[in-house]
Amino acid sequence: MFARALKSIAGIEPHEVKAVVTAFVYFFFLMASYFILRPLRDTMGTVYGVAHLQELFTGTFVLSFIVAPIFAGLASRIRLASFLPWVYGFIAITMVVFYFLFQNVANDRWVAAAFYVWLSTFNLLTISVFWSLMADTFSSAQARRLFGVIAAGGTAGTICAPAFIALFVSSVGTNSLLLMSAAGFTVTAFLVRLLETEKRKLAGAQAQPTTLDRKLGGNPFDGFALLFRSRYLLMIALFLLLMTWISTVIYFQLGDLISKEFASRAARTQAYATIDLATNSIAVLIQLFGTGRFIRRFGLTTGLLINPVIMVLAFVAVVFSPVLLVLGAIQVTRRFSEYAIAKPSRDMLFTVVDQQAKYKAKNVIETVVYRFGDLTSSWVSAAVLPFGVAGLAVFGIAIAVVWFPVAWLLGRQYEAVRDGTVLVTSPTSA
């Protein structure tokens, strides 16, 4: 009866239930472990100084550029089944290290900067690893049905974490959040192993036939080479770059208004957590009951186009009313539309590429390219910030107008790759 209910509500076939539930719980712990720290990261940005955020973005880009080939090099030499869980185990260890640093040097600008840069680097890596594994487990057809439901697990985690922070951060203290996060990442590492088992069971049942019991081979810079050899992967990178520019513009606007509105570190942390809570409460409902139906009904291209349309309208509203309430509402709208529709759509793009591209090129796109977008947009945003929030909004409108045709072309390219009329870098494994 439970399996029939899941099939009726979410389109999950009986033989897929264990894999989908495991992926749901895996993403829950991953996102909860990160989101319990994200308000603290944003607060560390204000400790370092909102006027100097572009410096933190620069540091994050440099570290991402270093980490990406290290990740690819390790994946080339270690079996994926052994390597992937240790990605999360290593993150857990670093959170314990930062706990002791914060205990001994509270409010130090350079420790705050180190935490901000490291958290901003690894959060993209860990999420990229998750969706690489999803694209390596489920086929393109399965992804259209299942990725929304799986994404809801992460969103549920992002609801629980900021809700906990908003209610209890004053009593437990911000430093304790680091130990809670470390525990969550440890659980995540074990869940990766469970999902690897489910992937083996699904292989051949209209799912991805690849195995994790292998090394990817090659060299640490394969991800960059794959990216520049493929028009399809370059289109994904351009789409993500423009999306990142939009996100960074809003981030600067919000950071400026929140730092002026709230004086204490705890109050700023709670403000960021409240925005996260509102965003994710809406997104999880759409992911559970609407994402799969939306993609099957309107197609992946429409899913990619949602955010550019919303952002043009949103930035126009900011031009006329540049206040915290309006900007907070826009941030909520942008994020839930991205998490519920645009992000699952974007991750479906990788279901039609080979395993090398899934783990290596995807990692480069979602770490180095993403942070390059942060870097470039942050310096432009910092230059525009003296003209006020409305000035940043005009910059955001210009980006969104370019973003729309890129999203449409990318959707068309995906359909060509999926249908076999265009190859990416080699024959697909989907």
List pLDDT tens digits, range 307-320.
888 777 777 776 66
Q: Mean pLDDT across the stretch 273-299?
A: 76
Does the pLDDT of residue 429 top 60, yes or no?
no
Over residues 325-343, the pLDDT tens digits come to 666 777 777 776 777 787 7
DSSP classification of residue 241: H
Whether the pLDDT of residue 126 is over 50: the answer is yes
| DSSP count for the chain of H helices, then E strands | 19, 0
Residue pair 85/193 in contact (Cβ under 8 Å)? The answer is yes
pLDDT band at 430 (very low <50, low <70, confident <90, very high): very low
Is the per-residue pLDDT at 324 higher than 70?
A: no
> What is the rounded CA–CA span in Å between residue 6 and residue 26?
18
* Amino acid found at 277: L
Local confidence band at 194 (pLDDT 50, 70, 90 cut-offs)? very high
Give me the pLDDT at residue 2, please. 54
8 Å CB contact between 249 and 109: no
pLDDT tens-digit readout, 127-162: 889 999 998 888 888 888 888 889 889 888 888 887
pLDDT in tens, 2-43: 556 555 555 677 778 888 999 999 999 999 999 888 878 877
pLDDT tens, 376-418? 877 777 776 666 666 767 777 888 888 889 999 999 998 888 7
Q: Does residue 212 register a pLDDT over 70?
A: yes
Does residue 321 carry a pLDDT above 70?
A: no
* CA dist., res. 36 & res. 260, Å (int): 23
- Confirm whether pTM is higher than 0.85: no
- Checking if the pLDDT of 192 tops 90, the result is yes
Torsion sign (Cα): 286, 291, 292, 298: positive
CB 272 within 8 A of CB 42: yes
Residue pair 125/71 in contact by the 8 Å Cβ criterion: yes
| Topology of the domain comprising 2-208+219-418 | Growth Hormone; Chain: A; (1.20.1250)
Most confident of 139-153, 178-192, 272-286: 178-192
Distance CA 267, CA 325 (A): 16
Task: Please give the structure tokens belonging to residue 43.
Answer: 């607060």
Q: Span 30-57, mean pLDDT?
A: 80
| Mean pLDDT taken over the chain | 81
Q: Between residues 359 and 45, which one has the greater pLDDT?
A: 359
Q: What's the mean pLDDT in 298-307?
A: 85
The confidence band for 422, taking pLDDT boundaries of 50, 70 and 90, is: low
The rounded Cα 374 to chain-centroid distance in angstroms is 14
387 CB burial (10 A radius; 0-12, 13-18, 19+): exposed
The pLDDT of residue 323 is 60
- Measured between alpha carbons, how far is 392 from 380 in angstroms, rounded to an integer? 9
Above pLDDT 90, what percent of the chain? 17
